[in-house]
Structure 1
Amino acid sequence: MTPRIPLAVTALAVAVVALAGCVAKDAATTADALTVTSDDNTCGVSAAGASSGTLAFNVNNTGTQVTEFYLLASDGLRVVGEIENIAPGASRTLTVTAQPGNYLTVCKPGMVGEGIGRAAFTVTGDQVAVTGADAQQKQQAVNLYAAFVKDQVEQLLPAAKAFTAAYAAGDDVTARAQFPQVRAFYERIEPVASTLGDLDPKIDYREVDAVAENLEWTGFHRIEKDLWVPAADALNADQVTPAWQNWSPSTPEQRAQLGERLVADIGQLYDYVHSDDFQAALDGQGIAAISNGAISLLDEVATKKITGEEDWWSHTDLYDFAANVEGAKMSFSFVKDFASATGAQGATLVERIQTGFASLENELATHGSLSAGFVPYTDLTAADKRALVDQINTLAEPLSRLTGTILN
């Protein structure tokens, strides 16, 4: 990354689906509860659906590892509800309010990775009216936001281990394929690391930034330069310094060390987002900072990613671009109901933002996707870049007014 002013924790542009636990309907009784049986290899839910309203999932851990249970939106990213730290032999209950729609259930033994037993879960019935104390609804939003961040880091850590293992072993073909996919998890939650002193520079600084700040260059982009060896006449990211000046490819021993350091730094991030300090920081900032997160990540795209300066050697910038946009959209979807509740102007603003995201995503989709892959950034023409900039600018204006609308 280029140097940036440290953002508040809630400048994260990652968020979750419409609020759970913020509706009016009688609380689910014990008899109504769904049963979830989680062990080291399976995640069984007693039913594949339920009626809309307040749902209770009694999660029983019969495995050997501490586990957690998620109810996800159908996109597999947005967290509707989660319960964690369920010890072997223990049971805990997740209570959420679910609107009609399609969801996914998943368990995560060991609390790392993408989880197991992912299964469809359908909620039928009528839309449930939003009620309850405003403060309670906002706290629920913060809690679910924290859950999404933790989920992304839980997937980032094992993905980074696999990536660095391939890199250390000299399997550059595998490592190149994994590089942009692993980074997508980080790009959705990157501003968290920015609050932890030098953690983001260790994980994600470009060479020119590390040199400018007299820091040892480590992390994703140090590995990137090994994986995409620059041509002898290539320039560095400052477009002045020859890429080979004072640099040579890493030895196998150096590769192993760089990989271990990246995993250790991501492990530090993992520890932080699972700490009381992280939750306290989010609680202190509140709902407005989440909307600011959407604005901040879109600004990141507009000022950094669109220039192609992020992934200087691999030209995988569009993956980072897409992850940032996805994170900004998540944050927006997390707080849009608060904006709509302010009245007609708020509802109009929400509609404009939704349209802006759809148009930007459609434009980005002409170049690929996170799942199927993107074309190299160097393949984009000036017209392609201009079209993306136009869509970003169209979205940025209404999005910049989101926080003020929520606070009115």
Structure 2
Amino acid sequence: MRAVRLSAATAVATVTALTAVTGCTQKSDAEADGSGAVKVTATDDACKVSTTKFPAGHVQLAIENKGSRVTEVELLFPDDRIVSERENIGPGTKSSLTAEVKSGSYRIACVPGMKGKGHRQDVTATGGTVAERDPRLDKAVADYRTYAQEQADQTLPKVKTFTDAIRKGDLAGAKKAYAPSRIGWERTEPIAESFGNIDPKTDTRADGLEQGQKWTGWHRLEKALWQDKKIGADEKALATQLDKDLRNWQQRVGKAVITPTSMANGAKELLDEVATGKVTGEEERYSHTDLVDFKANVEGAEKAYDLLKPVAAKNDPALAKELDKQFAALDTLLDKYRQDKGGYDFISYDKVGKQQRKELSDAVNALAEPLSKLAAAVVK
């Protein structure tokens, strides 16, 4: 699944002067009104920015979707690696995105329908590097990096249990191992998706394939196990490919560039993942193990928040209080669907009724709204 992705590498060091599509020699709207934000207007056929040059450091995008479809806005390196993004911006709505960038060349992309490359504007961050920050944020980043690596390291043996069962033709064993194999990935999905080609190979659903893309990974195997009820030579080969792709992810996690704002944005996008894929039952449509993914996404978001909380609580005490309240409420609600105490044996999601799903959705939305303010709180 798509989600906000933390950058996998540093920005290009050399600043390349870019042609200003909207007239970089003039004052931008942000400069003129003193807001400091780069205004991004997304439509069905364009992505307009108020300025193509802005100072390096903490950059805020003030986004408005004037199109007819839901869209996402991405801040990209020139080679399409994602610095950060905001998904699920509905028609006629506004949103914001705070990112931390070094001097260099970037692109801002608006993606109507949240598929494909969308419409793009080249932009440049100029001047000095990111300002000195609170040392507690440096500790938060270091601790989050450790957490992400631990999740990857713990995932590989669980995946091997899953793929070994497939290679043995053990349908029941593979089904049992499937959901546990995904927990570490779901907790740290923002980093996992930052590496470009790993996520499409491992975690794409059938309706998320790009043109010409071969369907591989967890969900292809999920369909074979639950819908097709068979394990053949193709599935065994796909299991081995999944092992290989996830080893690649594990080896690259330590190289991800992580910032306080990308941690905060990633936490918000994990909640968006829940709202758009897990609550609807679309993510695990064959196995109905959505609540395992749901819980893992929430845990990943809560971990990022907990690490950033010392600074966020100082800068915005009311926000931290609300986030504490909403995380606790959602955790308590999820506990209602456990079949074991403190574990990951949740009921099958096809047994969760319409009203119960609405209750879950409402709790996610109640948390997502204040969580969207976390990035701004840690850079005040």
Fold shared, TM-score > 0.5 on shorter chain: yes
Aligned twin of 1:268: 248
1:290 equivalenced with 2:288 (yes/no)? no
Aligned twin of 1:353: 323
Tell me, what secondary structure is at the counterpart of 2:195? coil
CA distance in 1, matches of 2:171, 2:142: 39
Tell me, what secondary structure is at the counterpart of 1:386? helix
1:381 equivalenced with 2:379 (yes/no)? no
1:362 equivalenced with 2:361 (yes/no)? no
- Of 206, 215, 218, 1:217 maps to 215
1:6–1:361 distance in 2 versus 1, CA, 3 Å: closer
CA deviation vs aligned residue, 1:256-284 (integer Å, no higher than 9, x gap): 2111100000010011013xx32xx22xx
Contact kept, 8 Å, 1:141 with 1:334, in 2: the verdict is yes
1:404 equivalenced with 2:376 (yes/no)? yes
Aligned twin of 1:255: 235
Where structure 2 has 5 or more consecutive residues not aligned to the other structure, the ranges are 9-131
CA distance in 2, matches of 1:191, 1:405: 20
- Of 277, 283, 286, 1:310 maps to 283
CA distance in 1, matches of 2:189, 2:311: 25
State, as a whole percentage, how many aligned pairs show the same letter: 35
1:5–1:152 distance in 2 versus 1, CA, 3 Å: closer
Tell me, what secondary structure is at the counterpart of 2:162? helix
CA distance in 1, matches of 2:235, 2:292: 24
Tell me, what secondary structure is at the counterpart of 1:170? coil
CA distance in 1, matches of 2:335, 2:189: 23
CA distance in 1, matches of 2:176, 2:162: 9
CA deviation vs aligned residue, 1:131-181 (integer Å, no higher than 9, x gap): xx9543222211111000000000111111111001111111111111111
Aligned twin of 1:330: 303
1:7 equivalenced with 2:5 (yes/no)? yes
- The one-letter amino acid paired with 2:252 is Y
Displacement after TM superposition at 1:290 (Å): 1.1
Displacement after TM superposition at 1:230 (Å): 4.6
CA distance in 2, matches of 1:363, 1:153: 27
CA distance in 2, matches of 1:5, 1:386: 22
CA distance in 2, matches of 1:5, 1:287: 17
Aligned twin of 1:169: 168
Tell me, what secondary structure is at the counterpart of 1:304? helix
CA deviation vs aligned residue, 1:300-319 (integer Å, no higher than 9, x gap): 11122111000111011111
1:395 equivalenced with 2:367 (yes/no)? yes
1:150 equivalenced with 2:123 (yes/no)? no
- The one-letter amino acid paired with 1:380 is V
RMSD: 1.9
Tell me, what secondary structure is at the counterpart of 1:314? coil
Aligned twin of 2:226: 228
Displacement after TM superposition at 1:360 (Å): 0.8
1:197–1:146 distance in 2 versus 1, CA, 3 Å: same
- The one-letter amino acid paired with 2:324 is Q
Tell me, what secondary structure is at the counterpart of 1:229? helix
Tell me, what secondary structure is at the counterpart of 2:207? helix
Tell me, what secondary structure is at the counterpart of 1:195? helix
Tell me, what secondary structure is at the counterpart of 1:307? coil
Displacement after TM superposition at 1:202 (Å): 0.5
Aligned twin of 1:113: none
Displacement after TM superposition at 1:6 (Å): 6.1
CA distance in 1, matches of 2:219, 2:4: 20
Displacement after TM superposition at 1:332 (Å): 0.7
Identify which range, 185-194 or 381-390, moves more after superposition: 185-194
CA distance in 2, matches of 1:376, 1:198: 31
Contact kept, 8 Å, 2:187 with 2:299, in 1: the verdict is yes
CA distance in 1, matches of 2:319, 2:344: 32
1:5–1:403 distance in 2 versus 1, CA, 3 Å: closer
TM-score normalised by structure 2 residue count: 0.64
CA deviation vs aligned residue, 1:16-58 (integer Å, no higher than 9, x gap): xxxxxxxxxxxxxxxxxxxxxxxxxxxxxxxxxxxxxxxxxxx
Tell me, what secondary structure is at the counterpart of 1:308? coil
Tell me, what secondary structure is at the counterpart of 1:165? helix
Give the structure with higher Rg (CA): 1
Aligned twin of 1:59: none
Q: How many aligned positions are there?
A: 255
Displacement after TM superposition at 1:7 (Å): 2.4
Aligned twin of 1:141: 140
Displacement after TM superposition at 1:206 (Å): 1.0
Contact kept, 8 Å, 2:337 with 2:347, in 1: the verdict is yes
Tell me, what secondary structure is at the counterpart of 2:296? helix
Identify which range, 373-382 or 136-145, moves more after superposition: 136-145
Contact kept, 8 Å, 1:9 with 1:191, in 2: the verdict is no
CA distance in 1, matches of 2:147, 2:281: 28
- The one-letter amino acid paired with 1:219 is G
- The one-letter amino acid paired with 2:177 is Q
- The one-letter amino acid paired with 1:221 is H
CA distance in 1, matches of 2:205, 2:133: 43
